[in-house]
């Protein structure tokens, strides 16, 4: 059978074009509106390009707290693109409003390996255990599930429910994460006024909670080994971009001077350690919500009887003495 050379040529060209076509890259979008990133927490697979679009009339930036990417000023209706290739947690914020807002704009991109995307609601919620058993890994229990079932973490669990980003991070399928969760008594020590101010401010609450979360699995043994390697102290990067100190002296392990009360409670996406102090980043809580340190009593100055007003004497030009008269 005779083949039409024209048809064969077109088929060959089409085949070459199909082979040459690049694979469609995954994309995701984040809007910047009213001084916020929407969504504030975004979970994507590796090799996804995220586009931020600024819809505010003022400039904003998309700046990684770990130094991985920085958009510079993005004006109204301008965009910024960044492709995430490696799995991990990438918190970011706006540097332009950091000095004018109590809590800077915050966002986080959570990158999971390709093909490992977790759909919302896919996690199976287990029956709460009631108390954490160190070293025992509950089946299908996320960090949020584990925290919710711990009797000494009711305030921390409540904070996660009220927060916007922190809970999404711990249930997104990313990680693993190590959570240094303050116990209930630690939150009580902040005082009702300070605690109310934090819980009524979602951005402040997210910043506080994410300051207690670091990426990676760190058992107590791991933390002690890391501290001893660097001379009794090491630092860990939190999801807010700050650092916390881990110190091991004479077998005593502390996180920013806070002892660990319960250690090595394992979930499917990380580890929880309960500490006895809330770790507060410097400048996070407004001064008006912090109980002032009482000043020493100062002895008042004794009252002094005021001097009576004296009518000033007018300047008088003295008369010249008569000739030949001497004024003694």
pLDDT at 2 (0 to 100): 53
Q: How far apart are CA 164 and CA 167, in angstroms?
A: 7
Q: Map tokens 């001064």 to a residue.
A: 287
pLDDT at 50 (0 to 100): 96
What predicted TM-score, i.e. pTM, was given to this entire model? 0.63
pLDDT at 187 (0 to 100): 95
pLDDT in tens, the chain (328 residues): 455 555 455 445 444 444 444 445 689 999 999 988 988 878 888 899 999 999 999 999 999 876 789 999 999 999 999 999 887 778 888 988 755 555 568 788 878 777 655 444 333 333 333 445 454 444 578 899 999 999 999 999 999 999 878 888 888 667 789 999 999 999 999 999 999 988 988 888 888 998 999 989 999 999 999 998 888 899 998 888 788 999 998 878 999 989 999 999 999 989 999 999 999 887 676 544 444 433 344 334 344 344 344 444 344 344 454 454 444 4
Cβ-count burial 190-201 (b if 16+ within 10 Å, e if not): beeebbebbbeb
pLDDT at 9 (0 to 100): 55
pLDDT at 277 (0 to 100): 94
Cβ-count burial 284-309 (b if 16+ within 10 Å, e if not): bbeeebeeeeeeeeeeeeeeeeeeee
pLDDT at 327 (0 to 100): 44
Q: How far apart are CA 280 and CA 306, in angstroms?
A: 51
Joined tokens for residue 21:
């076509």
pLDDT at 118 (0 to 100): 44
pLDDT at 93 (0 to 100): 86
Joined tokens for residue 68:
């991985």
Which domains does the chain carry?
A: 21-117 (2.60.40.420), 119-287 (2.30.180.10)
Cβ-count burial 128-146 (b if 16+ within 10 Å, e if not): ebeebeeeeebeebbbbbb
pLDDT at 49 (0 to 100): 95
pLDDT at 117 (0 to 100): 56
Q: How far apart are CA 59 and CA 73, in angstroms?
A: 6
Q: How many C-beta atoms surround the C-beta of residue 122 within 10 A?
A: 9
**DSSP β-ladder status, 79-84 and 88-93:** unpaired
Give the relative orientation of helices 154-162 and 202-210 as an angle to the nearest 10 degrees.
130
Whether the bond into 39 is cis, omega within 30 of 0: yes
């Amino acid at each position: 059978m005779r083949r039409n050379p024209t048809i064969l040529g077109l088929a060959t060209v089409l085949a070459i074009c199909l082979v040459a076509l690049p694979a469609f890259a995954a994309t995701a979008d984040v809007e910047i509106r009213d001084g916020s990133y929407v969504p504030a927490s975004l979970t994507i697979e590796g090799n996804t390009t995220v586009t931020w679009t600024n819809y505010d009339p003022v400039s904003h930036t998309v700046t990684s707290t770990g130094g991985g990417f920085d958009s510079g000023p993005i004006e109204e209706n301008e965009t910024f693109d960044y492709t995430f290739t490696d799995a991990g947690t990438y918190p970011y914020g706006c540097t332009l409003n950091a000095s004018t807002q109590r809590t800077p704009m915050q966002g986080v991109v959570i990158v999971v390996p390709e093909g490992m995307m977790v759909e919302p609601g896919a996690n199976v919620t287990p029956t709460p255990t009631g108390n954490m058993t160190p070293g025992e890994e509950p089946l299908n229990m996320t960090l949020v599930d584990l925290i919710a079932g711990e009797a000494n973490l009711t305030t921390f669990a409540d904070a996660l429910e009220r927060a916007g980003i922190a809970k999404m991070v711990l249930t997104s399928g990313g990680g693993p994460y190590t959570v240094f969760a303050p116990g209930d008594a630690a939150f009580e020590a902040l005082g009702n006024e300070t605690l109310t101010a934090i819980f009524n401010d979602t951005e402040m609450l997210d910043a506080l909670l994410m300051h207690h979360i670091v990426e990676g699995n760190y058992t107590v043994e791991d933390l002690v080994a890391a501290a001893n390697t660097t001379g009794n102290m090491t630092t860990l990067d939190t999801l807010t971009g700050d650092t916390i100190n881990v110190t091991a002296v004479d077998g005593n392990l502390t996180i920013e001077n806070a002892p660990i009360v319960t250690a090595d409670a394992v979930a499917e996406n990380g580890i929880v350690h309960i500490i006895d102090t809330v770790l507060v980043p410097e400048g996070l809580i407004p001064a008006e919500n912090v109980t002032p340190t009482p000043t020493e009593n100062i002895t008042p100055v004794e009252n002094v009887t005021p001097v009576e007003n004296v009518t000033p004497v007018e300047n008088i030009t003295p008369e010249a003495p008569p000739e030949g008269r001497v004024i003694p």
